[in-house]
Amino acid sequence: MNAVGTTKPTTRDKALRMNLDAGRYGTFAEIGAGQEVARWFFRVGGAAGTVAKTISAYDTAVSDALYGPAERYVSRERLLAMLDREYARLRQQLYVRRGGRVAFFVFADTVATRSYSRPEDGHGWIGVRFEATPLGDPSDVILHAYLFDKDPARQQEAVECSA
């Protein structure tokens, strides 16, 4: 129970609530260790009403082919390139068919966690570009997260459950 005596919604609850919201439709784009968020939307059911596309890249050459070359793959610049490209594609492909009925969104993340070859703390950039109303101007929410847990799996879980 939280401070007002109600149960805090779980990650499952939040994903299902979004899947059942017929007014939202969008894309999930994930690079690196953050490739777990979209899975929640499929796991809870009803994703066909919310998810237009998911895309994930792990290899830097694939990431460059999708979003252009980058000096750093886990960076604000890479995140913005992801949001720009995926939002433009979503609008280009679905504007006529769904634009007046749904508010489009793009969720994107680029994350590096601890690994065998990377012992330092993880971090990531997480962002959402969304329309508050159908055909509305988009807004962005951008977060830079530091992952201090020493266990790589728990770092990944922190990203997927906080989104």
- Kindly list the structural domains of the chain, giving each domain's residue range(s) and its CATH number in brackets, ordered by start: 11-162 (3.90.950.20)
161 has a pLDDT exceeding 60: no
For residues 140 and 83, the answer to whether their CB atoms sit within 8 Å is: yes
CB contact set of 99 (below 8 Å; sequence gap of 6+): 91, 134, 135
pLDDT digits (tens, 9 = 90+) for 6-63: 688 988 999 999 999 999 999 999 998 777 788 889 999 999 999 999 999 888 899 9
What pLDDT does residue 113 have? 82
pLDDT digits (tens, 9 = 90+) for 64-114: 999 999 889 899 999 999 999 999 999 999 998 888 899 999 999 999 887
